[in-house]
Amino acid sequence: MSMSFIVACESGKRKIAEILLANNEVDVTYTDEKGRTALHYAAHHGYQDLVKLLLEAGAALDYEDHNGETPFYFACLQKQKQTALHLLESGARTDINDYNGNGLLHLCARTGQKEIMEALIRNGSNVDIANNDAETPLLIAAAWRNKDIVQLLLDNGADVNTTNKAGDSPLLVAVRAKNPVIATQLIEHYADLNHTNHAGESALLIACYDTNRALTNLLVDKGADVNITSKDGLSPIWYACANNQKEIVSMLLNKGIDVNFSQPVSDNTTVVNSYLEWVETANNLSLNSTFSFNHSYSNGGESLLHVAAKNGHLSMVKLLLEQGANINIQDEGGNSALHYAASAGKKDIVKYLLEQGADVTFVNSKEQKAIDYASIKGFNEIAALLLSYNSPQAKAGPAPTPAATDNNPMADKKKALLDLKELLDAGILSQDEFDAEKAKILAK
């Protein structure tokens, strides 16, 4: 009959439970195959009248099932507030942990049970107790966006700069959870704005990961270090630039970052040339599939303008140049933004850089010009564009106006033939293609 009694308590059938108890047909300490008593199930479903009945009949208040969980833990797990408070008032143990080391405060922090947490704290529970991953209730409350629990823990002296096994602080966790309200709470309680986790990530860098302008503005306005970098040399503005986050880049520049900010020079041109060496051999210029430069920035002297050009972000290139970036800045290997744009096949960026005065004659440490990379990859239109800015006519000054050339067809043909010859000399046109185009020009 004891199993029938457990079923009756789980189903909330108080009358049946009372009849069985009155006739001494059951043992209230009987457990099922999971090691749970009738009190476990009554607490789980919040049947407070049955809980009182079972306790009066001698049920074990703190009996642990096979997972080490007590009726009080069950009541907290299922957010049965009144039942949980009654069990606590009856003297239930509060030093209960699950297999992951989570205690009742951890559980309440995750589920947002403020009143139960208040009762637990009044009963002496440690607000900074850590689970197996070194997570305190404050870290869990921040991750689960429970702002009332965060405030309660802070008001009761929780360590605002505690860290888990990954080195994440509550502020980093709140930023990762995209919650500016909790981030503000933590900052007002003197959270370390520039704390970095074991990967070297700061709260500001994590905010940039999510293009979260609200959090980025908050952190910068509160005094976060805009120049802090991760272990891989990744800074907030570097990440924002690589991912075309124009508003964030503009804000960080306004906070004093040099628009020509570059990676430190290391005297190692081998690393710097690795990208362009890949360009020479790669058949697929899907930049994320075979060559990654979005998450590790080790290229000496590489500037924000290089990154924007390499990633194909024309609007970012425009922003940087408008902010005064040096258009001809070179990295450690002598590569300019024009080298990177040409090698990646970014015709719109090549055109814009040329229009803004980029120098096509710069050579890198391999004695290669931007046009060499365009030619290697078969970007004929880019090569022709670069060549037109390197021709004697381009160097001499602007071409005659259409009104002046309309009356001089011979001069037009001469210019067209000269341009065609330059394409032949550069290897962009074959001899047969040159001859065919030449015949068309002469036939006009």
How far apart, in whole angstroms, are the C-alpha atoms of residue 414 and residue 402?
Answer: 15
**CA–CA dist 322, 309 (Å, integer):** 15
* pLDDT for position 284: 54
Other C-beta atoms within 10 Å of 229: how many?
19
Task: Give me the residues of the chain with pLDDT under 50, please.
Answer: 272, 285-297, 392-394, 396, 398-406
Q: What is the per-residue pLDDT for 25? A: 82
Q: Do domains 1-93 and 300-396 have the same CATH topology?
A: yes
On whether the CB atoms of residues 115 and 79 are closer than 8 A, the answer is no
The whole-number pLDDT of residue 293 equals 38
**pLDDT attached to residue 297:** 45
Domain ranges in the chain are 1-93, 300-396, 409-443
Q: Report the alpha-carbon distance of residue 120 to residue 129 in Å, rounded.
A: 12
- Give the per-residue SS3 of the chain: CHHHHHHHHHCCCHHHHHHHHHCCCCCCCCCCCCCCCHHHHHHHHCCHHHHHHHHHCCCCCCCCCCCCCCHHHHHHHCCCHHHHHHHHHCCCCCCCCCCCCCCHHHHHHHHCCHHHHHHHHHCCCCCCCCCCCCCCHHHHHHHCCCHHHHHHHHHCCCCCCCCCCCCCCHHHHHHHCCCHHHHHHHHHCCCCCCCECCCCCEHHHHHHHCCCHHHHHHHHHCCCCCCCCCCCCCCHHHHHHHCCCHHHHHHHHHCCCCCCCECCCCCCHHHHCHHHHHHHHCCCCCCCCCCCCCCCCCCCCCEHHHHHHHHCCHHHHHHHHHCCCCCCCCCCCCCCHHHHHHHCCCHHHHHHHHHCCCCCCCCCCCCCCHHHHHHHCCCHHHHHHHHHCCCHHHHHCCCCCHHHHCCCHHHHHHHHHHHHHHHHHCCCCCHHHHHHHHHHHHHC
- Token pair 């980025």 is found at 216
203: phi > 0 → left, psi -120 to 50 → alpha, else beta; which? alpha
Round the CA-based radius of gyration of the chain to a whole number and report it: 35
The pLDDT assigned to 442 comes to 75
Q: What CATH number belongs to 300-396?
A: 1.25.40.20
C-alpha to C-alpha distance for 210 and 166, rounded to whole angstroms: 19
- The residues, ordered by sequence, that sit 6+ positions from 11 with a Cβ below 8 Å of its Cβ are none
pLDDT digits (tens, 9 = 90+) for 234-251: 899 999 999 999 999 999
Paired tokens of 150: 């965060």
| The predicted structure's pLDDT at residue 393 | 46
* Tokens of residue 111, six digits: 């589920």
- Kindly report the CATH class assigned to 1-93: mainly alpha
C-alpha 96/C-alpha 126 separation (Å) is: 12
The two tokens of residue 204 are 């500001």
pTM of the model: 0.76
Q: How far apart are CA 317 and CA 307, in angstroms?
A: 9
